[in-house]
Amino acid sequence: MSSDRVPQALDKVVVVTGASSGIGAVLTRQLRARGARVVLAARRENELRALAAEPGPETLVVPADVTRREQVERIRDRALERFGRIDVWVNNAGRGITRATSRLSDEDFDSMMLVNAKSALYGMQAVLPHFQARGAGQIVNVSSMLGRVPFAAARSAYCAAKHALNSLAATLRSELRERYPGIHVTTVSPGVVATDFGLKALGGGPDSRQLPGAQPVDEVAAVIVGAIERPAADVYTRPGMREAAAAYYAAEDMATIEARWPAARFPEP
């Protein structure tokens, strides 16, 4: 992209879940800078209101727990009441885990699936009838490179949940393709992002901002904005990620690829 390209105004109404911090908060700022009206959804109302108070186009704050279907539907209803339409729904809420597969409890696994996959399913199902009625719209699911290549053993059930999310997105695209070609379903796969994601992981973990090669959050948000401008099915936030995923699945024996990954180290129980 040319550095002297003048960004076009983004005349869209965009719902962003997990908007109170990290990727969601920075994405909200970038969208508003482009002229979009944003519906901010998350549990932390004070943080949402502080973000909404920043200069920019009109916003709507909807405090909500996206692991509860009825609250996700309330986000949709409030957005339609205020703006009359929704153009883009970004499922961004999520949480990690630091626990080996062999040590996962039922509660660990259920929590990861609920926060990272079911919450996004609720969002897709809530907004879909509106998009179908209009014949247009876009769902953006913020997944993870770990949903393509599960190279971090400590993230176990998080990897599994993001794989599930990717499959839900792909099957929804197939479901909509013939009758609703104007509805786009986009999966965005970041790698390690410089946020407090690691600190908030179930079971604790290293601060993602201190990890080597962590991608600045503004770069990740800019890729998502680009995916809204030019919808695509599968988007990666850094060069080489797509090739790494393809190489993993093309390997005659995946174990040969896995042997190159960092060794998993966990504290003794």
Give me the DSSP letters along 101-157.
Answer: GGG--HHHHHHHHIIIIIHHHHHHHHHHHHHHHHT-EEEEEE--GGGT----GGGHH
Cβ–Cβ under 8 Å, residues 195 and 241: no
Q: Which of 158, 236, 248, 249 is catalytic?
A: 158
Among residues 21, 245, 249, the alpha carbon closest in space to that of 145 is found at: 245
Reading the block at residue 39, the tokens are: 């519906």
Q: Which residue type sits at 4? A: D
Respond yes or no: is residue 158 known to be catalytic: yes
Q: Which residue type sits at 41? A: A
Number of Cβ within 10 Å of residue 250's Cβ equals 9
Phi first, then psi: what are they for 207, rounded to 5°? -70, 115
Residue positions annotated with a catalytic role:
158
